[in-house]
Structure 1
């Protein structure tokens, strides 16, 4: 089977082949000429909105959403098992990080005790609540893991600085990191719990934090697992609470993509994507950016140039490292993730989950 990254190049090489026909909700790509990347919808039997997604493989994926819903598939999306944590009913689950088909960590967002972390090691048959936020001023948004043991979760600023939780045992226990190395937050600055991608890592120590809601959109970077940070302005529109960088993705510690814009329906989102080649020290606007607000982004496996970005109005593809983008589907998705076996998954509103294929 042709790899996904190779298919991406093939699709853009064929005139018109990258466009899904008619913007149908399913984005099935019918009518496209030649080989085309398309989303193959996998019915979940629910209308939950899945902003949390973990692609383990072509057969296995986890999704997390509202209200307190976690689903898992082990047969490529043909069947989904409801493995929701019993204690999470009614909570907003916005991020899931899975190590395999049995071990996963889920983040619930919200003010005070609504922010929680749950962990399972048996495929979701049982869960343990491993963190409940005791601070009414904290609001956790996203998680990331460097490996199977070490991970971070981020809260919106508390007392003028972003707050980080750290785990060194795969999410079984968490501690608040000191904030001495965290730059001061801007007035009104926060992170967006829209796709589970406001906090991402690459390699054993590097991590990036995407921000918005303030005068300037920023991306913060740490090279020591969250102890010290530097902040860089990103050329994505900000200045209002609904604008900023919503998701970032790094294929290594140098090359990254940022996406965002204005999440309000009908609002324009010019310059909705940006790129870096120096680990986030500097960011440049895309020469041809995504045409609208995008909340999720991921690099295609083993590719140095291909990536996907998703949002409520469509999916975009780049084959030049984020400099230019083309829309390949107009279906609504909130987040996207790819597995090491070249399988890419997306999820979003109304129970929508899909796996990338070719037609």
Structure 2
């Protein structure tokens, strides 16, 4: 799953909490598999997405960082960043001052007070901000000065080490690195990065084109070229290997849009063709060897998907979201079925079963049971 720095959370009472959360997850999962596509209109006794009123209907939230069932951050258009600490009952606008012209596409949160947010775009539109006080103040820690670079997404291995991904510069993807929690950044050498294909790029669609699992492993997703690919690094972005992914390709609108790894071996990839008038067959794939090889899902999501997350305490269940709905797999990505038809761009889950989704028209929802 996307690294929201879960591995560094307090471990006291972990065994008891994990057992309880696992039992809750199993019960929720059993019910969710029986929920029809109109789940969001069904009884609240069944697991379903429950919309939370953010008060900003004109904002599209493609950045999402779930800290727990009570706390989550979202980031989106018009330089907007919101935070909740009461399960979505209320939201505080904690947007960085002067960022109204920026488009935030990714946010990574360490807890309720500390977060790092990425703005995307050409040249100086690509920026990184960090807060240590719940968004009361922000520090701009990076501003891109290379007109050829366009940053798409970021991820963290732990509270200190993280990476950000730019589309290719001089024929190779550019990687930005931090070792102090996003307070400062440096461009990594490109000598260990394979050459990019013509037209190849990352998709800034839901903050999941760059994901980490564990202390050193990271994967990046590509599209827009002849072949969709997933690149993997086992040394925090210094060297990379590339593998073809069997998702739609051969067009700037097609490719892998999101990745989710539950450990360093098992991952899922989702995407397709983001144009609403185009079909997206074979829009999901899975790997069991750390991304060296990928297999197409036997039954893929019904349409293009831009976000994915593993359900906590499950080795086989995951969610994929997109503008036309949410799909669920209970067999590790082999088969998917639609369980909700609401529009979402990204999804994130936490160990206490705090699954959140966000998207257009200010939509943010939490999985309820």
Query: Residue 41 of structure 2 aligns with which residue?
Result: 29
RMSD between aligned residues = 1.2
Query: Residue 264 of structure 1 aligns with which residue?
Result: 275
Residues 1-359 of structure 1 mapped to structure 2, 5 A cutoff:
3-12=24-33, 17-21=34-38, 28-30=40-42, 36-47=46-57, 48-358=59-369
Q: Helix, strand or coil for the counterpart of 2:98?
A: helix
Q: Give the C-alpha shift of residue 6 in structure 1.
A: 3.6
Query: Contact between 2:78 and 2:103, CA under 8 Å: does it hold in 1?
Result: yes
Q: Give the C-alpha shift of residue 30 in structure 1.
A: 1.8
1:5–1:294 Cα change, 3 Å: farther
Deviations 1:196-238 (A, max 9, x none): 0000000000000000000000000000000000000000010
Taking the aligned partners of 1:216 and 1:61, their CA distance within structure 2 comes to 35
Number of residues paired by the alignment?
347
Query: Contact between 1:18 and 1:327, CA under 8 Å: does it hold in 2?
Result: no
Taking the aligned partners of 2:85 and 2:311, their CA distance within structure 1 comes to 21
Taking the aligned partners of 2:26 and 2:63, their CA distance within structure 1 comes to 23
Taking the aligned partners of 1:31 and 1:148, their CA distance within structure 2 comes to 39
Deviations 1:220-274 (A, max 9, x none): 0000000000000000010000000000000000000000000001210000000
Q: Give the C-alpha shift of residue 341 in structure 1.
A: 1.2
Taking the aligned partners of 1:11 and 1:245, their CA distance within structure 2 comes to 26
Q: Helix, strand or coil for the counterpart of 1:166?
A: strand
Q: Give the C-alpha shift of residue 31 in structure 1.
A: 6.4
Taking the aligned partners of 1:3 and 1:308, their CA distance within structure 2 comes to 17
Query: Contact between 2:227 and 2:245, CA under 8 Å: does it hold in 1?
Result: yes
TM-score computed with the length of structure 1 as normaliser: 0.95
Q: Give the C-alpha shift of residue 286 in structure 1.
A: 0.3
Query: Contact between 1:218 and 1:245, CA under 8 Å: does it hold in 2?
Result: yes
- The runs of 4+ residues in structure 1 deviating greater than 6 Å are none
Taking the aligned partners of 1:30 and 1:18, their CA distance within structure 2 comes to 8
**Structure 1: 5+ residue stretches without partners:** 22-26
Taking the aligned partners of 1:91 and 1:75, their CA distance within structure 2 comes to 27
Q: Give the C-alpha shift of residue 18 in structure 1.
A: 1.9
**Structure 2: 5+ residue stretches without partners:** 1-19
